[in-house]
Amino acid sequence: MFRILGVPLPEKAAVEVLTADVTEIRPLERRVDSVLRIGPPGGSGGFVLAIEAQGRRDPDKAISWAYYLSYLKSKYGCPALLLVVCQDKTTANWAAGPFHLGPEGWTALSLHPLVLGPVNVPVITDPDRAARNLALATFSAITHGREQEATAILEALARALNTAAPESIAYYSELLEIGLGNSPARDIWRNLMPRTYFPGRGTLIEQTWQEGEAKGRLEQAALSVLRVLESRGIPVSPEVRERIMTCTYMDTLGYWLEAAVTVSTAEEIFVHGG
C-alpha cells in the first residue's frame, strides 16, 4: 500500500495497532501568549492570529504550534495564523521554518509561521511615534529587548501608554511583559508600566490584580459579618466595626461570621477565631 502511495517505508517494519480514540481525556494546560480575531467590523470571515514569544530554538515547539493552529481553526471556524516574536536573528531564522511534520521523506503537515525579529522590526524610541502605533512599538520593545536601545524603547512605550485607552494599556503591557521573559528589560518595564489588569501568566499586572481580588474578598467577608449583626439588631460600635473591616485573615472572618448568628453582643464574636 505504501509503495502504491509513494511513501517511504523500511523493508522490515513492525506494525502495532493503537487505539483509534483521539479524544484527550486528561486536562492539559496549553496557553498561547495572545490570540486575536482579525476581520471586517461586525462581519464574518477574517482569521485568527496566535502570537507566541520565542526566546530560543526548541525542537518540540513545532508540535505545540501545529496543535494551537488546529485547535483555533476548529474552535473559531476560520483560518488561523501563527506569529512568532523573537529577540535574536538566529532564533528568528529558525522560527520561520518551514516545519515538516510526518515521517522522513513524506510531509503530512507543513507549518509556516510568520516571524518578527530584530532584523525586520524598527527601533522606536520616539514617544509620539510609539503612541501612533502601539502594536509596532510593543513588538519593537520585545524584539530589541536585549539591545542597548531597550531602555529608550521601553520608556517611549510607557509614555505612549499613559495616554492610551485602558484596554490598550492592559493588553500591550501584558503582551510585552510575557514577550520579554526573564530578562533585565522585563525588570525595567515593571518599574515603568501602568498598573492595570489583564489575565496572563504570573506577570506583575496579574499579581497586582490578584492582590486586589484578595482584598475585595476580605472586604466582602467583613461586610457579611456586619450585615448579620445589624440584621439581628445587635449594636456595632465604631471600634468593633473597624476591627472587623481591617481584619486580613479570611479564616478569622469565617469564624466571626458563624459566631455573628448566635452572639448576644458584637464584642462576643472576637472570642471565636481571634
63 close to 105: Cβ distance less than 8 angstroms? no
Q: Which of the given ranges, 8-12, 227-231, 241-245, has the highest pLDDT on average?
A: 241-245
pLDDT at site 209: 47
pLDDT at 194 over 60: no
Whole-number pLDDT of residue 58: 92
Task: Calculate ∠ Cα 213-218-221, nearest 5°.
Answer: 125
* Band of residue 197 on the pLDDT scale cut at 50, 70, 90: very low
Task: Identify whether the C-beta of residue 50 lies closer than 8 Å to the C-beta of residue 68.
Answer: yes
pLDDT of residue 8: 75
Helix, strand, coil percentages for the chain (3-state, nearest 5): 50, 10, 40
* 206's grid cell: 496579574
Instruction: Kindly state the average pLDDT of the residues 249-265.
Output: 84
Q: Identify the pLDDT of residue 272.
A: 55
* Mean pLDDT of the region 225-241: 88
* Alpha-helical runs (H) found in the chain: 2-5, 61-76, 89-95, 127-132, 134-143, 150-161, 166-180, 184-192, 204-231, 238-245, 250-260
Q: Residue 7: its pLDDT value, please? A: 76
In the chain, % of residues over pLDDT 90:
33
Return the percentage of the chain with pLDDT > 70, whole number. 88
Question: What is the pTM assigned to this prediction?
Answer: 0.65
CB neighbourhood size of 200 (10 A): 20
pLDDT at position 83 is 95
Read off φ and ψ for residue 119, nearest 5 degrees.
-80, -40
Q: What is the mean pLDDT of the chain?
A: 83
Is the separation of the CB atoms in 130 and 156 below 8 Å? yes
Question: For the residues 88-109, what does the mean pLDDT come to?
Answer: 89
pLDDT of residue 59: 87
pLDDT band at 91 (very low <50, low <70, confident <90, very high): very high
The pLDDT of residue 212: 57
- Residue 165 confidence (pLDDT): 86
Residue 255 vs residue 74, higher pLDDT = 74
Query: Which is more confident, 76 or 42?
Result: 76
